[in-house]
Amino acid sequence: MYLNKISVTNFKNISQTTLSFSKKLNCITGINGSGKTNLLDAVYFLSMTKSYFPSADQYIIRYGENRAAITGEYINSDKTSEKISVNIDTASGKQIKRNSKPYSRLSDHVGLIPVVMISPSDSALINESGEERRRYLNSILSQLDREYLRRLQNYNILLSQRNKLLKSDFFSEDLLWAYSEKMAQDGQYIYEKRREFVKSISPSVEYYYGVISGERESITIEYRSDLEGTTISELFSSNLKRDSLLRYTTSGIHRDDLFFTMNGHPIKRGGSQGQQKSFLVSLKLAQFSAIREQKGEPPVLLLDDIFDKLDILRVESLLKLVATSDFGQIFLTESNKLRVSEILETIDGDSLSFEIDKGRVI
C-alpha cells in the first residue's frame, strides 16, 4: 500500500495543499521552519489518528482557524484504493473516516496503514524518561496487535481509577483489590508482548547498526520490567503498604523501560551524537522490518532530517539500505537541495521532489 495523493487544510502551518506522490521516493526540501516536518506529520496522522509529536489535537489546527483536515488516497497492492479522511474541529473534536464511513472507535483504524517515522525528536528515546520508551513500544505493538491496544487502553483506565482510589482519604481494600485483579490479566499480556517484541527485534537492530556504522561498535537492547519473575497480583500485594503511603501505584507495566548500551556502556553517556543517531535509525529500521514481516508488505517510511549528525560513510550506508527493493514508499525531508539531487541519483525507480516554503508547497 502506498499514499498516492494527499490534501491538507489548516494543519499546523500548512494552509492548503494537494499533492500526488511517487510510490517509491518523495523528497521534500525547505529551510528550517518551512513546514517539511509538518507535511510528514500529516502523513503520519492518516495512519495513527494522532500527531507523531506529543500535543493535543487542538494545537495542530493552524493559528486563527477552527478546523483542520487531511485526506489521503492510498493504493493497495491489488490496485484498489482506500480513502482516509481526518477532520479536527475545535467544537466537535476529531473524526476519522475510511471510504466516507466514520469509525466508531479511532483504535479500529490503527494498523490499517502501517507507518514508521524517524525524526530528530527520537533523541528523547535515549535522553528522556522511560515514558518515551514505553510510548515507542506502544506505538509499534498497537499497529501489529489490536488486542494489545485494547488491553493497553483497559490497563490505563484501571490504573487511573486505582490511583484515584489511593488518593482518597478512605478507601476500601476490597475495591482496590478488584482493580488489581482486573489489571493483572491485561498487564500480563502487555508484558509478554513487549518482552517478545524486544527479543525479536534485537538481532535486527544489531544488524542495521553494523551496516550503518561499518561494524565500528556493538550495541544491545534490554527490556526491564517489574514483572520479571513475578506477577502483577503479587506485585500489588507486596507493595500495598507503599502504594497506600505514597498514594499511587508504584509498580507494574506502566514502569517498564528499555536499556540501550554501546560496547557495554549506556549509550546515553558513552555515545557521540552520530553514534546515537545511528542507533536510533537502526532501531526504527528494525521496527520497519518487524512490521513488514508481520503485515506482508513494507510500511510507509518517513525520514525527517535523517542525515543530520551522520558522517558521510554512515549516510552512504543508509542510502544503500533504503535503495533496496525491501523498502516501499519513502518520504524524506532535507534542507540541502544539492544533497537531495545526489540522493535521487542513487535511488533507482520512481521519485519526486517538492519544495516547501512557509507552509506552501512549490
pLDDT of residue 191: 96
Q: Kindly state whether residue 154 falls inside one of the protein's structural domains.
A: yes
Give the single-character DSSP code of 61. B
In which band, very low, low, confident or very high, does the pLDDT at 317 lie, cut at 50, 70 and 90? Answer: confident
Whether the per-residue pLDDT at 222 is higher than 90: the answer is yes
In angstroms, the CA 121 to CA 125 distance is 8
Residues 248 and 259 in one domain: yes
Per-residue pLDDT tens digits for 116-149: 999 989 999 999 999 999 999 999 999 899 999 9
Whether the per-residue pLDDT at 343 is higher than 70: the answer is no
CATH number at residue 52: 3.40.50.300
Q: CB count, 10 Å around CB of 9?
A: 19
Relative to beta strand 351-357, strand 25-29 is parallel
What's the gap between Cα 134 and its chain centre?
11
Q: Kindly state whether residue 233 falls inside one of the protein's structural domains.
A: yes
The sign of the dihedral angle between the CA atoms of 168, 172, 173, 176 is negative
Per-residue pLDDT tens digits for 166-197: 998 877 888 888 888 999 999 999 999 999 99
Residues 291 and 314 in one domain: no
Q: Kindly state whether residue 137 falls inside one of the protein's structural domains.
A: yes
Residues 51 and 92 in one domain: yes
pLDDT of residue 169: 81
In which band, very low, low, confident or very high, does the pLDDT at 346 lie, cut at 50, 70 and 90? Answer: low
Whether the per-residue pLDDT at 293 is higher than 80: the answer is yes
Residues 241 and 177 in one domain: yes
DSSP E strands in 251-314: the ranges are 257-262, 265-266, 300-303
Q: Kindly state whether residue 165 falls inside one of the protein's structural domains.
A: yes
What's the mean pLDDT when you consider all of the chain?
A: 89
Q: Which of 277, 297, 317 is the last residue of a domain?
A: 297
Q: What is the mean pLDDT of residues 87-107?
A: 92
Per-residue pLDDT tens digits for 25-48: 898 988 888 899 999 999 999 999
Q: Kindly state whether residue 200 falls inside one of the protein's structural domains.
A: yes
Q: Which of 255, 273, 297 is the last residue of a domain?
A: 297
- Global pTM? 0.88
CATH number at residue 216: 1.20.1050.90
Residues 99 and 137 in one domain: no
Residues 55 and 109 in one domain: yes
pLDDT of residue 324: 67
Q: Kindly state whether residue 119 falls inside one of the protein's structural domains.
A: no
pLDDT of residue 348: 60
Whether the per-residue pLDDT at 347 is higher than 90: the answer is no
Residues 318 and 201 in one domain: no
In angstroms, the CA 214 to CA 263 distance is 14
In which band, very low, low, confident or very high, does the pLDDT at 220 lie, cut at 50, 70 and 90? Answer: very high
Q: Kindly state whether residue 163 falls inside one of the protein's structural domains.
A: yes
Residues 97 and 181 in one domain: no
Q: Which of 254, 282, 297 is the last residue of a domain?
A: 297
Contact 87, 69 (CB under 8 A): yes
The domain of 153 spans 127-297
